[in-house]
């Protein structure tokens, strides 16, 4: 049941995003991302003024891809460095496969 709900939610979100122009979608995502950086306790930004140092590349729809997803339910936790140099345990959720500029991902 949870898988069906997740699949339906993903489908509806994808359908909704498909109707919004790429540049607008990306701008909205970036604004949300910057707000989340400020909200994060212990995050890399201490104030709104620090947002001036957050820069993004210009939007390029060449890098918008359609991917297939392979869930990894038996993945083992691994240690990954964070922005401040400390490591934290993470678990792989899925593997994505896609083609970019005619080359398959690996």
Residues 52 and 72 in one domain: no
Burial 22-33 (b: 16+ CB within 10 A, else e): eeebbeeeeeee
- How many residues make up the chain in this entry? 106
**How many domains would you assign to the chain?**
2
Rounded Cα–Cα distance for residues 40 and 49 (Å)? 15
C-beta of residue 44 within 8 angstroms of C-beta of residue 11? no
pLDDT tier for residue 13 given thresholds of 50, 70 and 90: low
pLDDT digits (tens, 9 = 90+) for 59-74: 888 888 999 999 999 9
Question: Is the whole model's pTM more than 0.85, yes or no?
Answer: no
- The one-character DSSP state at 74 is T
Full residue range of the structural domain in which residue 88 is found: 65-106
Residues 52 and 22 in one domain: yes
Residues 54 and 6 in one domain: yes
């Amino acid at each position: 049941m949870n898988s069906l709900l997740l699949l339906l939610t993903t489908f509806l979100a994808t359908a909704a995003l498909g109707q919004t122009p790429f540049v607008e979608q990306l701008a909205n995502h970036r604004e949300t991302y910057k707000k989340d950086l400020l909200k994060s306790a212990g995050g890399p930004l201490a104030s709104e003024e620090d947002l001036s140092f957050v820069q993004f590349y210009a939007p390029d729809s060449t890098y918008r891809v359609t991917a297939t997803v392979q869930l990894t339910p038996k993945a083992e936790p691994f240690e990954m460095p964070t922005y401040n140099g400390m490591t934290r345990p993470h678990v792989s959720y899925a593997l994505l496969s896609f083609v970019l500029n005619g080359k398959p991902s690996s």
